[in-house]
Structure formats: C-alpha cells, structure tokens
A and B are shown apart, each in its own frame.
Chain A
C-alpha cells in the first residue's frame, strides 16, 4: 500500500463568480522512501497540491489517504496533529522564528507534540547533528548564512520523524553552490529511507530526483519514474560525492 494515495482530488476556488480549478481530478500514489519532485510553472497547481498533501488545506472533492488514514475530511485539530507528527516542511524562506535560537527552533514541533524538555533537547541535538548544525545550536537564525538556516529548517522538519518531508523551493533563496549542498543533503536523507518531496519550478532541480511529477493546469501532465522506465538521467551528481556533508 502506498504511503499517500490521492483519488479524484479536486480543489476549486471561486474568484468573482469564476471557477478556478487549481487541482482537477488528480490521482497519485507516493510510496514510502521515495524521493520525488513535483514540478510545474507558477499557477500550475503544484503549491495547492503540496498544501493538500501537507494537510495545510482540504480538497474540495476526492479522498487522500496518508499512511492508511483518510485526511481529506479531517478537522483543523486533526490536521494540526497530522502536520505535527507525520509531515515536515522546508520552505523557500527558511521560516525560522528569529526570536528563538536554532535549538529552540528545532524543538518547536516537539513543544506542540508535548515532549518533555529533556527529550526535546536530545532529539533536537540529534537532528541538528544529522544536518551538521550541532555546533550552531545556540545561534540566532540571523547570525547564520542562508544555507545554514535552511539546514536548521531541515532539522526542524525531521525532528518529529515524519512520514514525509515537503520542501517548497528549498534552494530558491540560495546561491547555486549552497543550493547544491542542500539538494545533496536531501539526497542523502532519501538514501536513509526518508520520503521526500521537492516542490519546484526548476527542471534542473527536479532532475535530482528519480521520480518527477509534472503538474500543468491542475492536472498531472507527466509522471516519470527513472527507476521504472530505466532512464538513467537521474541524479546529476554522484551519490558518493559527499565530501561536503560528512567529515
């Protein structure tokens, strides 16, 4: 059974009497451990898809099963719990709270999960170690470079061991070199068995992932899996090339 199952999902907005189908009858399966990219130009509906998959929004029609449970009709409270426990978000603008230091930012999801202070600290440090930010735990986000901030944000997304991590244009606000490091980090995390979905408009970034889902006008235009189709235009960089990541 797939980790995420979308069946006939539509999202319809009404703008001044005009009906806008941001998502139109989408069927999609995402399996556990997959590393996928959702690509499409702006206005294609990829953000809407991510919001619905990420439990930030509910579809107008259709059913979504995450980890076997139906979430399309979940209440706001249940959605918040699902976001907290099963989903991690990485944003283009990092979205760390400027008043908290890195450690506190990473602890934030666990605060809402109701973990004890000690457990929060241990798990947050472990997550920071994973992204090699443990030596910056006491820094404020403003004292860090963009790449470091994004890594802290990734640590925050991972800290509650979510079923799937959504990264919305994670390299959009970084220079190309730093962006590449971040993508490499995602790749490594995917190799550790985590399910990761990159949302981007950039085909070059999408080229990193084995599976690409292209959205156009609210519909899935292309659903290519490099492994299944045997195409070998997958990762542009060598998986073993990780000297920047691990000491």
Chain B
C-alpha cells in the first residue's frame, strides 16, 4: 500500500468519526495554541526588556567610572588625576574604535524652583550636546543646547517631563500638555531658561495603562489627600525586570551645558587645565581665545563620569582595551578607572527570558503531551472497534507494515490537522490576550514558535500512534476474524 493511499484511508477514517476526531484534536489544538501563545508572551516580555536596555543607551554605551586605586599602586595614590577632560580629548584623538565620547559632570543637592513649586532632579548633568545621541534622548519640544551655548556657558537647560510635571503640572493634573519652552526656572537661585524638553519616556506597558486610564472616568477621591505608602505611585511599575525605573530615571533628567556647570556650580577649587574646559577640540590657541570669557574662573576639570560609545559591539573587548591603553597614558599609568558596560544586564535579560521560555514551554509541552495521550487513547479504542477490519485486511494480504502504517498515519493526520487548527487558534488566542491585558508587553507571535509547536504536535502524533499501530499490526488474523 503506498503512502498516499494510507493518508486517504486515514482521512476517510477521521471523517467517518467526525465528532470523536474533533474531540481528540482539541487536545492538540489547545496544546499547540498554548505553546505559541506562551512563546508570544515571552517574546513580548523580551521586547519590553530590550527596549528598556536600549533606552539607557544600548549595549554600545560604556561608562568610565572612577575606581579605587589597586593595592600595588597605592603608593602613587596622590598622583592620581581622576577622570578629566584630558581623557575626553585623548580618547577622541587616539581611540578609533570608540565613536563617541561624552563627558558628564553631575551635581547633587540641586533644587529647581518656579513659583511655589520645587524639585530636586535625580540627574542634573552638565554635558556636551552629543549626550542626547548617546543616551538615546529625544528632544520633543524646543531644542538641545548647542556648542555655542556651551562655549558661552549660557544659562540654558533641557528638562525631562518629570521635571516639567513637578514645576508646571503634569498633563493629567492640568488637563493639557504644558510645554514650558522659553520659561525661566531657578536652579539653586540662578535663572535658567528652558530651551528644550525631552519626550515622555515610558515602557509600552505604562503607555498602555495610561491610555486606558484616560478613557476611564476619574474615580472619586475618598477621604483627604494622602500618600498610600511605598510603591503606590501613579502607575504601578511592572517589577524590576520590566525596567520601568529606567524610564523614570530618564524622565527625571536635566541637561545643562558642561561649561555652565563648571561656572555656575563647580567654579571653586581644582587645578587649572588651560583650555581643557573648552568644548572645542581644536588647537590650544583657538581654545584659549574662545574661552576668554571663562578665563577668570578656575574650572574643576574633573568629571563625574565619562561615557563612550563603542563603534561595533562585536569588537567590544578590543575597543575597551584600546580605551584602557589611552586612559592609562592620561592617568600616568595609575589604574583609577574602570569600565562599566550593560553586558551584565543584557545577560540577565537573556537568562530571564530563557527561564520564562523554559517554564512556559514545559507547561505547554505537557498540555501537548496530554493531547497526545488523548490521541493514543482514541486510537486504541478505534483499533479495538476495528479488530475485524484489521483481520479482513490481513486476510486479503495486508502485511505488518501495511497495518502499522495505516494506524500511524491516521494518528499523525489527526495531529497534523490539530496542529494546523492550533496555529489558527493561537492567533485568535493572542489577539484575545492583547485585548484582555492592555498592560504588560504586547505578545508577539514568532514564526519559529509556530514551526516548533507544529513540529512538536506532529512528533506527539507519531509517538501516540506507535503503540496502537504496533498493537493493531501484531493482531493474529485468525483471531481478528473471529472477533465479534
């Protein structure tokens, strides 16, 4: 009996017992769709985590941080220079594997006030204009300060939406989006003009819940205004792994020009670095001439951090080695710095996703297995019903292989039909999941998961069919013919 014949016979048999076959397939359908839906959920989660990783600058971003001087160099501790603008220029000139260098100067104890409102931003940073690129900021309104602002140390700032919310009121409170471009605020009692505002950064999850909130009527307040305790902020964050804090941190940012930072907030102590305070990468003479207005101050050339961008992630190790070599020169050979990459976080995401996938996969695989047991059960019942038929087939010349193939094909055909139906169902299921839970990351169906689920269902069909097929093929024709 050839193969197509066997499939035709199998289909006929399934069609003859429509309802029973449908019930049997249901196990496979549910198994396949749960496998695909689970994988879609995990994929959505992965996308959310990766988006958070990219929001802080992606894998290419590496921070150069200060580090305690190693023990064997302790005797040179007083010679250590720390991270300075010299490093920035050295890296820019001598490390071709590094495409971008951004110096950052942070200041704590900053209070921004306007009217009766105040905020202490988490990130108050003096930096270069290219910080926007490196940290993946989007200037939604106004503009980022440019090199001229930096050169002239103008009192301008670019703020995140959380700062706007605190000083001008959030869109939820005011009822409309306040765009405070051109407004003035006081930063530690110095007048600063807001020239730009970043986009509102939030995870997809938060955006969705906010949009959902917008449609709902405001719940009437019960009792007096009060804080409801830790973690009961406006939007409940989806736990550490979803990376919600990254977005909060990013929204709570104020950028001012690096020179302004030095002049207004840092100009007290430190070694004079001629021209090193200037943004200009050109020669010392031009730097000297442009920085004339700042000459009377003695800026502190030390930086709090230095962020670099690696040209190519695949050359991460080489680039870091190159950066280290350059920095060792500008640090007099004292290793008082270290590199901090996002590789760890990326690996954490990888492990977490692997774990989710594993546990979800096992659960769905079990449900598929149950479906397979259902098939085996039905096939066993079916061959018991058809003992006589098998006897007849054997009497007219069916061999062991013929009967074996027939039963196996039947079981596999059930599994294949169930698998295909399951793939359709999974799409419906995922659509329902998207509708049901607007919060959380949008599930994404992947082709790999569909292929995997289908292959798995076929394998289950084969496994489930083996035993009944063997049992049927082993039947003694004489006894099978006598069977009533």
Contacts and interface: CB of A to CB of B under 8 A. Distances in A.
B396 to A, nearest CB: 4
A112 B478 contact: no
A232 interface: no
Contacts of A73: none
A113 B392 contact: no
A156 B397 CA distance: 12
A155 to B, nearest CB: 12
Contact of B12 (A76, A99, A114): A99
Contact of A112 (B12, B388, B391, B396): B396
Contacts of A205: none
Given A51-B478, A112-B1, A114-B1, A95 B397 contact: no
Contact of A108 (B388, B391, B393, B400): B393
A114 B2 CA distance: 7
Interface in A54-90: 56-57, 76-77, 80-81, 83-85, 89
A84 B396 contact: yes
Interface string A80-118: 110111000101000111010000000011011110000
A112 B398 contact: yes
B395 interface: yes
Given A91-B481, A95-B481, A83 B5 contact: no
Contacts of B401: 77
B397 A112 contact: yes
B394 interface: yes
A81 B398 CA distance: 8
A197 B5 CA distance: 32
| B interface, size bucket | 20 to 34
A95 B400 contact: no
Given A56-B477, A91-B481, A114-B1, A109 B399 contact: no
B99 to A, nearest CB: 69
A108 B392 CA distance: 10
Given A57-B478, A112-B1, A95 B392 contact: yes
A77 B389 contact: no
Given A111-B5, A114-B1, A97 B389 contact: yes
B402 interface: yes
Interface in A120-172: 156, 160
A80 B398 contact: yes
A111 B391 CA distance: 16
A88 to B, nearest CB: 8
Interface in B391-425: 391-402
A95 B388 contact: yes
A113 B1 CA distance: 7
B395 A83 contact: yes
Contacts of B397: 80-81, 83-85, 109, 112-113, 160
B172 to A, nearest CB: 69
A154 to B, nearest CB: 13
B271 interface: no
A76 B481 CA distance: 17
A83 B481 CA distance: 15
Contacts of A51: 478
Interface string B371-394: 000000000000000001101111
Nearest to A57: B478
B343 to A, nearest CB: 62
Nearest to A50: B478
B16 interface: yes
A76 B399 contact: yes
A45 B120 CA distance: 105
Contacts of B400: 76-77, 80
A51 to B, nearest CB: 6
A109 B477 contact: no
A160 B394 CA distance: 15
Contacts of A91: 481
Contact of B478 (A56, A95, A108, A111): A56
Nearest to B391: A95
23 contacts: A51-B478, A76-B399, A77-B400, A77-B401, A80-B397, A81-B397, A81-B399, A84-B396, A85-B397, A89-B396, A95-B391, A95-B392, A96-B392, A97-B392, A99-B12, A99-B16, A108-B396, A109-B396, A111-B5, A112-B396, A112-B399, A114-B2, A160-B397
Closest 5 CB pairs of A and B: A84-B397, A80-B399, A109-B396, A112-B397, A95-B392
Interface of B: 1-2, 5, 12-13, 16, 388-389, 391-402, 477-478, 481
Given A111-B1, A112-B398, 8 more contacts: A80-B397, A80-B398, A83-B394, A91-B481, A108-B392, A112-B393, A114-B1, A156-B396
